[in-house]
Structure 1
Amino acid sequence: MQVILLQDVENLGHQNDLVTVKDGYGRNYLIPRKLAVEANPSNLKQLEQRKKAERRKEEALLATIAQVKEALQASPLRIGAKVGTSGKIFGSVTPVQIAQAIKSQKGYEIDRRRIHLLEEVKELGVYTARIDFGKGNEVDVQFEVVAE
């Protein structure tokens, strides 16, 4: 029996996969629990429509990510920090501060958990942070730490 999975099922497949299972497993477990539907012509047509919609959504998301990447790489961010007499900053620059700088200087709101510092930032200078947009879309952003 062929079924279309409506949700991810462990050891079987992911959502929207077309899989072949034994008749009893499909009829008695997957279909009653709304984990799958039978792969008849109308359900297959709906599956194709869902996949097309998902592809369009993915393409729009990739276009937006490309636009954000260009804006972030256009010029370095400037982050102000309090500096001691030896030139070292008090504390360190964190992903939260970088996210705030992106929002105020570039106009894009990026989750701080997506920002990864490649090295510890404890002095004035130019550094690089990596922003992970997911699905292999990453961008390196340069930022400059300056005295306030």
Structure 2
Amino acid sequence: MATKIILTHEVTGLGAPGDIVEVKDGYARNYLFPRGLATAWTKGAAKQVEAIRRARKSREIATLDDAKAVKDRLQAAPVVVPAKAGASGRLFGAVTTADIAEAVAAAGGPKLDRRKIEIAQAIKSLGDHTVQVRLHEDVTAQIDVRVVPQA
């Protein structure tokens, strides 16, 4: 059976906030609902979709040209993220998407939504790593992240 849902957050491969999609019951019940990524579709909830879309529009980059310009700025130089590490270079914890967004802003880059940053494997060591940032539907930037020991 398929269940009609309203996405409240972006889900890779499924849609963006405010989209109404149909998914299998188990996927909605066991994954999307518990994580707060979606809500059940009802007539009343469908009216809230417009508010979700307006909020998304205010946060996202307006045009494709703007997104490409931001992509060029982000890929120009690596983002330096200081983190606490042991003598072996292993971090105490991991670098999060919020840490990366904060480091980009501190370096004078654009303000990024942490939910748009995708880390393929957890960053738990010093050195250079690569992450993806979804800037627009058609534009994804590859950012080099350099993790250095915190002074």
TM-score by length of 2: 0.56
Contact 1:127 1:142 in 2 (8 A): yes
Residue matched to 1:120: 122
Contact 2:74 2:109 in 1 (8 A): no
Structure number with the higher strand fraction is 2
Identical pairs, percent: 35
Q: Where in structure 1 do 4 or more consecutive aligned residues deviate above 4 Å?
A: none
1:1-148 equivalence runs, <5 A: 61-148=63-150
Q: Which has the larger radius of gyration?
A: 1
Find the aligned partners of 1:118 and 1:75 in 2 and give their Cα distance: 20
Find the aligned partners of 1:124 and 1:107 in 2 and give their Cα distance: 22
Find the aligned partners of 1:133 and 1:75 in 2 and give their Cα distance: 17
After superposition, what is the alpha-carbon deviation per residue over 1:70-127, rounded to whole angstroms, capped at 9, x for unaligned?
Answer: 1001010100001112221110000000000111113310100000012111110100
3-state SS in 1 of match to 2:134: strand
Larger RCO (alpha carbons 8 Å, 6+ apart): 2
Contact 1:81 1:145 in 2 (8 A): yes
* Count of matched residue positions in the alignment of Structure 1 and Structure 2: 92
Q: Which amino acid aligns with 1:84?
A: G
Shift of 1:129: 0.6
After superposition, what is the alpha-carbon deviation per residue over 1:15-58, rounded to whole angstroms, capped at 9, x for unaligned?
Answer: xxxxxxxxxxxxxxxxxxxxxxxxxxxxxxxxxxxxxxxxxxxx
3-state SS in 1 of match to 2:147: strand
Q: Which runs of 5+ in 2 are unaligned?
A: 1-18, 22-61
**Kindly tell me: are residues 69 and 9 of structure 1, through their superposed partners in 2, closer, same or farther at Cα, counting changes over 3 Å?**
closer
TM-score by length of 1: 0.58
Q: Which amino acid aligns with 1:93?
A: V
Structure number with the higher helix fraction is 1
Q: Please provide the CA RMSD for this pair.
A: 2.1
Q: Which runs of 5+ in 1 are unaligned?
A: 1-7, 11-59
